[in-house]
Amino acid sequence: MMFFDCNVNIGKKTLGFPGTPETIDDLVKEMDEAGVECALVRHYSGQYNLPGLGNKKLISETAANPCLYNCFSLEPDRCRNPKTAFSYLDEIIGDSASAGIIYPASMNISVAEWCLGPLLAAMEQRHLPLFLPYDEIELNDLHGALNNHPELVAVLTHIPYEAERKLISLLTLHGNLHIDISPPYSVFNGIERLCKEIGANRLLFGSFYPEAVMGASVGSLMYADITEEEKTLIGFENMSNLLNNRKA
């Protein structure tokens, strides 16, 4: 069984615990030990207010490993109108971005049309996956953004267990919304229920490394009471397909 981890960070985290793994070598070692073939990686330096710096570090540190794919922290200030938004996306895709992530609450921005409309429209047309941490966005705001951009490929990550009930309702309404099942999502029979309610093709394997070990997420999926085909979709194929569907 193959695994493509959609939720990996490298670099030094502000207020992180001493001894937390930070380097590419640490990451590759963890992947080898857990049996994870590929990872979508973002850099802690790019979170919140320094996305450009984090992206430059990410490019430099992952360049030598073809199994690592870059998730850029997006810069909303460079996407004020459709022209600049498309130019910006073309630039970061050329710089090796396979996906993007935004932090609305921490960056004091909104996913409403008057703020991020041009960026969301450009990502929708380019089919560049957009990651959104659950604790950074109100679900009603996300619902509005997906109504305005129905072809936008969005991935909700860092989902707490208590969100499942309303999350299933949102997933039912938006076919291009996916979820990362990495920690802190930990629900008894949660993977099984999500497969039944919305389908395995909407779930992405993730580990939340380095704040959690990869082996725990590998075990959660391997021992889930779902079919081998569903495990294959979640473990590797869904993330791979999202990246392969990106348009130039």
Distance CA 131, CA 6 (A): 10
Tens of pLDDT, residue by residue, the chain (248 residues): 999 999 999 998 766 556 677 899 999 999 999 999 999 999 998 886 689 889 999 999 999 999 999 999 998 888 889 999 999 999 999 989 999 999 999 889 999 999 999 999 999 999 999 999 999 999 999 999 999 999 999 999 999 988 888 899 999 999 999 999 998 888 888 899 999 999 999 999 999 999 999 999 999 999 999 999 999 999 999 999 999 877 55
Domains and CATH numbers, the chain: 4-244 (3.20.20.140)
- Write the Ramachandran bin of 15: left for phi over 0, alpha for psi from -120 to 50, otherwise beta: left
Q: Using alpha carbons only, what angle is made at residue 133 by residues 232 and 9, rounded to the nearest 5 degrees?
A: 70
Q: Which helix (H) or strand (E) holds 103?
A: none
Kindly state the tokens that stand for 41: 């990686």
Q: For the chain, how big is the Rg over CA atoms in Å?
A: 17
CA-to-CA dists, residue 17 to 12, 20, 103, 121, 227, angstroms: 10, 6, 22, 38, 38
